[in-house]
Amino acid sequence: MTFKSINPFSQEIIAEYEALTNSQLNKKLELAETAFKNWKNTSSQERADKMQKLANILRANKEKLGLIITSEMGKIISESIGEVEKSASNCDYYAEHAEQMLKDVYYDTPFKSMSVYDPMGAVFAVMPWNYPFWQVLRYAAPAIMAGNVTLLKHASNVIGCAKAIENAFLEAGFPEGVFQHIGIEIGQVESVIAADIVHGITLTGSEGAGSSVAALAGKHIKKTVMELGGSDAFIVLNDANLEKAAEVAAHSRMLNAGQACICAKRFIVTEKVADEFVSLFAKSMQSLQQGDPLKKGIHLGPLARLDLAETLASQLEKSLKQGAKLVVGGEYENCNFQPTLIDFVAVDSVAFQEETFGPLATVIRAKDENDAVAIANNHRYGLAAAIWTEDREKAYKIARNIEAGNVFVNSLVRSDSRVPFGGVKKSGYGRELGAVGIKEFVNMKSVVIE
Ligand code: NAP
- pLDDT 10s digits, 33-47: 999 999 999 999 999
Contact 269, 278 (CB under 8 A): yes
| pLDDT number for residue 155 | 98
296 — pLDDT class (breaks 50, 70, 90): very high
422-434 residue pLDDT tens: 999 999 999 999 9
Q: How far is the CA of 229 from the centre of ligand 1 (A)?
A: 9
What pLDDT score does 258 carry?
Answer: 97
What is the DSSP code (8-state) at residue 347?
Answer: T
Is residue 91 among the annotated active site residues? no
> Is 130:205 a contact under the CB 8 Å cutoff?
no
Strands 424-425 and 381-382: antiparallel
Quote the pLDDT of residue 300.
95
Q: Are 379 and 364 in contact (CB under 8 A)?
A: no
Handedness of CA 250, 253, 256, 262 (dihedral sign): positive
DSSP, collapsed to helix, strand or coil, labels residue 415 as coil
Nearest one of 389, 435, 432, 380 to 408, comparing CA atoms:
389
Give the pLDDT of residue 54: 98
Q: How confident is the model at residue 138 (pLDDT cuts 50, 70, 90)?
A: very high
Chain CA centroid to CA 36, Å: 27
Q: Where are the domains of the chain?
A: 2-228+427-449, 232-416
Which residue in the list 91, 161, 261, 263 is annotated as catalytic? 261
Return the pLDDT at 123: 98
Q: How many residues does the chain have?
A: 450
Domain 232-416 in CATH 3.40.1670.10? The answer is: no
Share of the chain above pLDDT 70, in %: 100
Where does ligand 1 bind, in terms of residues with CB under 6 Å? 126-130, 135, 153-156, 186, 189, 204-206, 209, 212-213, 227-230, 261, 355, 357, 383, 423, 427-428
- The 3-state DSSP class for residue 104 equals coil
Q: Under a CB-based contact definition with an 8 Å cutoff, are residues 328 and 341 in contact?
A: yes
Query: What pLDDT sits at residue 439?
Result: 98
* pLDDT tens, residue by residue, 232-280: 999 999 999 999 999 999 999 999 999 999 999 999 999 999 999 999 9
Q: Say yes or no: domain 2-228+427-449 is CATH 3.40.605.10.
A: yes
Angle, vertex CA 143, rays to CA 181 and CA 206, nearest 5: 65
Cα torsion angle, 98, 101, 106, 107, sign = negative
Region 64-79: mean pLDDT is 98
Is 227 one of the catalytic residues?
A: yes
Concatenated DSSP letters for 119-181? Answer: E-SEEEEE--SSSTTHHHHHHHHHHHHTT-EEEEE--TT-HHHHHHHHHHHHHTTPPTTSEEE
pLDDT tens by residue, 171-226? 999 999 999 999 999 999 999 999 999 999 999 999 999 999 999 999 999 999 99
pLDDT band at 227 (very low <50, low <70, confident <90, very high): very high
Name the residue at shortest CA distance from atom 11 of ligand 1. Answer: 155
Alpha-carbon gap, residue 314 to 37, rounded angstroms: 51
CA distance 89 to 95: 10
Q: List the residue whose alpha carbon is closest to atom 39 of ligand 1.
A: 227
Stretch 317-325: mean pLDDT: 98
Mutation pick for ligand 1 pocket among 203, 261, 355, 432 (CB with most ligand atoms within 8 Å): 261
- Name the pairing type of β-strands 336-337 and 332-333: antiparallel
Q: What is the mean pLDDT of residues 369-392?
A: 98
Q: What is the pLDDT of residue 45?
A: 98
User: Could you tell me the distance, in angstroms and rounded to a whole number, from the CA of residue 116 to the centre of ligand 1?
Assistant: 33
- Tell me what the pLDDT averaged over the chain comes to: 97
Angular region, 297: left φ>0, alpha ψ -120 to 50, beta rest: left
Segment 7-32 shows an average pLDDT of: 97
CA-CA distance, 209 to 223, in Å (whole number)? Answer: 16
Residue 227 Cα: closest atom of ligand 1 = 41
**Tell me, what's the pLDDT at 220?**
98
- Protein residue closest via CA to atom 37 of ligand 1: 228
Q: One-letter amino acid identity for 338? A: Q
Q: What span, in angstroms and rounded, lies between the C-alpha atoms of 204 and 413?
A: 18
